Structure 1
Amino acid sequence: MFAGDEKANSIEALTRFAQAIDQVPLVAVQGFDRDGIIRVWNDVSEKLYGISRSEALGRHIRDVLVSCRHHPGWEDEVARIWQAGKPAVPRDMQVATPAGGHVWVCSTMFPIREGEQTTGIYCIDIDITERKQRERDLLDKESRIRELFTKSADAIIMMREGQIQEFNPAALRLFGYGQDTNGLKGAVPYQISPKYQPDGRLSQEKMEEMHAIALKHGSHRFEWQYCTLDKRTFWGEVTLTVLDGSSDAFMYAIVRDITDRKRAEHELRLSAQVFEGSREGIAILDAKWCMMRVNAAFTELTGLQEQDIAGGGRDILRSDVHEPDFYERIKETVQRHGHWQGEIWGRRRNGESFPAWASVSAVRSSDQRIVNYIVIFSDISERKAAEERIRHLSEHDFLTGLPNRVLLLDRMHQAIASARRNRGKLAVLFLDLDRFKNINDSLGHHIGDNLLQALAERLKKCVRSNDTVSRQGGDEFVVMLSNIGDSGQVAHIAGNILHATGMPFYIESHTLTITTCVGISMYPDDGNDVDTLIKNADTAMYHAKESGRNNYQFFDHDMNVRMVERLTLEHELRVALDQNQLVLEYQPELDIGSGRIIGVEALLRWQHPEAGLLAPARFLHAAEASGLIVPIGDWVLQNACRQAKAWYDEGKPMRVGVNLSVIQFRQKDFLQKVRKTLEQTGLPPRYLELEITESVLLDASSSTMATMRALRDMGVALAVDDFGTGYSSLSYLKHFPVDKLKIDQSFVRDLADDVNDAAIIRAILIMAKSLKLKVIAEGVETMAQLDFLREQGCDEFQGHYVTQAVRPAELARFLQ
């Protein structure tokens, strides 16, 4: 405590100090003595704290400014001032006012000294409330900026002198650095991008250009392609801002990943290019099916311009080909399922309809409402035409243009169904040309093709418009007469066909005459289905051929029985070949003067396991019809030559005669087979005689002549079998290299009773002698026949008068 004088001096000193600084503006001054009693309270303090001087003077400092003076350490600071006499360190303090407010002050306490004695303490408070508010605002702003920097979804990069100084977490994530904060620090921006940007320029060169633009204008926005740490590239939208324009410019860049946007833009550009560049017509319709936009292909395909369809309804492309509900069904399907596609007929601007393949799709909004329809279509006129051509080719014969088997069967199914419903009839006519192969072989296939085309035109004129003429292949035709009357009407049409076919054909420089055989089956009498009717007509056709050709035959069930027998026979013949059921017998050929055996004729027999030994007349026709005659003929040639070689080796050389069918003779490899057989068996060619029929001589082609000459050159003899029974002219003989004529046994058989047969034989012998040909008579059974032939100068004979055909073992005994 102060002594009385000291206290008075302290108060006086405080008073003088207060009077001295009372006029100092903005500075609040308070002074208190050792007892803490306020002795100084200037006007600024009244205004700052809201306490008048009268209220403050004489009161303890703690009671007046309780909240601030109880600031931690204040008591200790006062004690140090009293003790050491040194001012306190200035500090910022928040002071509560009686009115309930707060003010911030920068407060400093100084000692008041009288000589060596501290007599009082004064406080100088400067109001810093406004400054504190500004600092608080600045801190708040900085905090928000830092939070924005840290939490921003876009990458933010701070740069100075072109190097990255600071970056936010989004930058680390975007560039693939994770938590590695050292990865970007100090990097140059172009180092985290591909070497070349998409425009082809170096990244460094282009980035320097971007920085220059930003320095010039303060900021610059551009797009840049970056590369992440794991080498993934992405597109970024960069906003580069310069904070100061000095040489070491401070910049910050905001990088936003716009890869999805770029992809979307690319897809939009592609879509636009597809829309405009597509060769398919595209139309965009609104929810009410009114057209909004069309592409160029749409205009090209329909002739409709953009202005023609603006706001147009869906009727604009409707064709009269479809029923009205067809379009309604499309609309319902699209609304229900979102899509429809199929074939449709559109309409061009000129009213022309055209086929199109169309696809209609619904475009829905996020709430699944249909907002648009997209129609894509293409003109399929050419495809439809191609399909029609293909269909026509698949159903029609390429050569004649007639329906083929496929179309015939379809029409027959329909015709049978109609006849069944209406209790009607129909007829099937099966045609096969007689000896058509001769024309192909002699004149060439192009002549044969022209002939078939001409015949097809004639056949179409023989029938009605609702009938069908079909080519099955080769020289076979089928005619279906639908809704026909009785068999008499069918016979009349069949007669017309025979007449039309028999009329001469003028093909190039050739005049050709052909005949045909027609087999006829009727529905329902001869069958209730397609296969049966065609099969029975085919059977009747074969019967017509067997009956003399150039005629027609109606099917009857006996024909079917015979056809089954023939098919059975063909099957058994194949088995006979496989199981060696065929055998050869040999009939001697003798010199008519000396009676010496000069050769044998190999005659084929079939040792049937059930029917016994069968002569060729029982099975050769079936063999020729089935094509088995070729392998059978090869077998005969092989075995006859092998037997002749055996006799040759035994010292009994004999010429062996082998009969050839026309089919066998015309095989392309026939000469090769003969040559190979002779080589394999070792038989000298002069001991082989091939017997051909007169039908071979009818073919005066160069190939036939060449084959015969080749055989002659080979050393093989040629004989004409059954001479006189065919249709060949005798003058043909002078052109062919034949060695012998065989008089058919039909002329020898009735020699004694028929003067005509005798005259024919005389004529043959005279003609043969003039041509220097040998003559042998077949079927000699009596001495009278033999004497007649000897008197007329016949060279050789064979027949039962000497012996019938026998097996090789029996022939050996006969020779002995």
Structure 2
Amino acid sequence: MEYENQLFVIIIILSVLLLYVFFNSKIKLNRLEKRLYDESESERFLDILPLPIFYETKHNRAIFTNKSFNLLFGINKKKALETLSLPYRNPIEKITFLCDNDIKKQLLVYSAHTFDANKNITATIRTLVDIDEMQHVIDNLLATKQRYGLAVDHALFGVWDWDILKDTFDVSAQWKHIMGYQEDEAPKNLNAWLRLVAPKNMAHINEAIRRHLDGESELFIAEHEVKSSQGRKWVQIRGKAIRDAHNQATRFSGLIFDITEEKQKDIQHHQSQKLFASFMDSLPAIAFIKDINHRYIYLNSFYQDYIGFKEWKNKTPHEIFDKKTADSIVENDRKAFYEGQKQHAEVIPNAEGTLKYFRAYKFAIDAGNDEKFICGFGIDSTKEKLYLDEINLYSKIFNNTTESIIMTDEKFHIISVNKAFEENLGYTSKEIMGKKPNFLRPRGGDGTRYEKMDKALKEKGRFSGELLVATKQGTLIPELVNASSIKNDQGEVINYFAIYQSIVQQKETENKLKKMAQYDNLTKLPNRFLFRFRLLNAFERMEQSDMKTALVFVDLDDFKNVNDTLGHDAGDIVLVQTAKKISESIRKNDTVARLGGDEFVIILEDIQNLENLKRICQKIITNLHQPFPLLGTTYRISASLGVSISPDHTKNYRELLKFADKAMYQAKNKGKNTIVFYKS
């Protein structure tokens, strides 16, 4: 990046110098050109430039340096001249100089010759750029970018990127895991995804991709089933196309989420996260000269191409750009001319109306005779700004998230924690910096889980699970911990990070939701959903043993009369009493569930013989018929029972329930308050 940015700066300066030579070669010169032709005027022109300049003529070895050069080297100027007087090997060289106050700096030296009409060398121009501080800043930014960027590859979601022009398809390790690829497999193109789309979803996915790439949708969001030999799986794909100046899609990037569990439970978790990477094919530099009235008298080729070769000669910014852009340019011109401010930040639209950020340098030239000009150049800093915004975004997320985050080096020494870590766990960054996070482990407890985490990080480079975490006050908090290693380009572990999320409230909420979703609110018995789940488990256990499983369908006799004569409150009391009496009549391992209304069903496992089953059913009949208090009096109820047995009657759980229900209706027809066993 430093070579590209500084190279554009030199190009601008050389362009201005070449402009000067060009003006000197003309026969008819205007007044500004005649003054620039004078040697003292050219030296004064070079003095204005903010970069150090070294100029040496060929015929008399005369050396000129501008003010920026003299300020840079001070008392060490002589040594610098000795180095720069030597013939250069390359047009761009990186040289370490001893500058003013004996400070060593690394400078980038750009060298070029000027020639006469016979192509003989007439002079050497060398321009110096201080890259020492810039290199340090960029190195820090790259290190931070790598640290946060690599963490994405270990997140709970997958990342994918399709380069449409090259037809290449890059994915993260988590994408491979979700889609069933091995870690060493490398998907080559978009077909690596599409060939795993279930046939029934293919048309929908293709249409959604087409609509998005044609610009008919702002975001691409789609769900589909994955073809897999390991059971049914669903994924959600989110993405967005990156478009060129002609609004043509050039890249298509996004995330993939495994939504299998949510899909199976019919709970839609809508997550929104955007991942965007914006970059430019080139970084154009613009250069200009305008008079004191802001009329352009020179634009270099970069600038002309950038604005689409509009008519610009003797026009002001307000005649070329929109009012907001023009006002900003004119205000920066004023600051440069009257306040001497050289560096500015400007946002300028290109020919297609796309806004780009420029780091502009402007300075005034006094040509004499009341003729003054504003000269300058600008370097496209859009990519750099977006880059810094991304780093700042990572930093803001790190410090503003409510989850506790800790980062360590490759030897598990803490190098950073966020504010939430300090607030949630009570430790300050100052007291734990450089230590290993063993103090988070509870003494004498949860050791096995921590051993699993250590093993997972060592073998797989990631861990996700629930752990008890010790706060500074000694309190143990259940937390969901997601930890991963971060590797460099050589595959070496350079960092570890862990995200701690308190699940105390989540556990409480889950328990409440589980109760609501699986249990009858009135009787507190399992509902139809939990009954089906337990029946399936009973069938699985039955297949592994020689025991039988029976279903007893219980329906209260004449329950409608209770509601009609005594009211629904009385009916609720009867249902609660029924649930209690049935529960007291069966074994602890058996299940009684309320399917709805006055219908109950009982799962009886491990039935050894028919006589035992009959005794249990008779006990239910007897207990249900016992009197109980109801609205100031005593009340009796009776029920009709239908019984079916697996595998005697069927091995299908749906049919088993159907047969028990059929037998129950036969009991009703026999006079109620009786038991009927299904007969095929």
Q: Which of the two has greater helix per residue?
A: 1
Task: Tell me which structure has the larger Cα radius of gyration.
Answer: 1
**TM-score of the superposed pair, with normalisation by structure 1:** 0.43
**TM-score of the superposed pair, with normalisation by structure 2:** 0.50
